[in-house]
Amino acid sequence: MQIHGLIHQFPKEIKSLILIFIGVLSIGFYGGLSFVNNTTAMSSSGIESHYLGNEDDEAAEIMEFKKSESEILTIVHSHILSLSVIFFLLSLILATTSINKKFKYFLMIEPFLSIILTFGGIYILWSGITWFKYVVIFSGILMTFSFVSATLAIGYQILFSKRL
């Protein structure tokens, strides 16, 4: 069964549903990034203090304490499960587009590696291997790049591309 380019043959109702799904999903994803920015200032030191605490820093404006094991396991567990479902659904839709196949496969597979590296990395960071914060940053950037690229590609394919 050939699914490459199938999105162009979807009925208008399905295309509209996909666009609404991508829009709402994007609001949630970017809302999550806003939360990350708010809690970590998108910095390596912010990530470290968010999970490991900053009670030794007398100049800290907001006192943070090391997350408990149950807190860190809840964060890792819930994010791995929810983001896996999100990227699976996004990948299914992306599979039907007619974008470059190699780039499409990258956008379909990479987020799953980034999910493991980002949230596994948060657990490893919490365990005391502090240099892993750089792995968390890099994999988080890659995951965001994949999300943005996939949603833009899908939106473009639905709105502007008429290839059959």
**pLDDT of the chain along its 164 residues, tens only?**
899 999 999 999 999 999 999 999 999 999 999 999 999 999 999 999 999 988 888 787 888 999 999 999 999 999 999 999 999 999 999 999 999 999 999 999 999 999 999 999 999 999 999 999 999 999 999 999 999 999 999 999 999 987 65
Residue 46 domain-assigned?
A: yes
Residue 109 domain-assigned?
A: yes
Residue 3 domain-assigned?
A: no
Residue 20 domain-assigned?
A: yes
Residue 164 domain-assigned?
A: no
The number of domains in the chain is 1
- Residue pair 3/95 in contact (Cβ under 8 Å)? The answer is yes
Domain that holds residue 41: 9-159
Residue 1 domain-assigned?
A: no
Q: Please name the residue that has the structure tokens 């390596």.
A: 44
Residue 42 domain-assigned?
A: yes
Residue 141 domain-assigned?
A: yes
Query: Burial letters for 146-164: b for 16+ Cβ neighbours within 10 Å, e otherwise?
Result: bbebbbebbeebbeeeeee
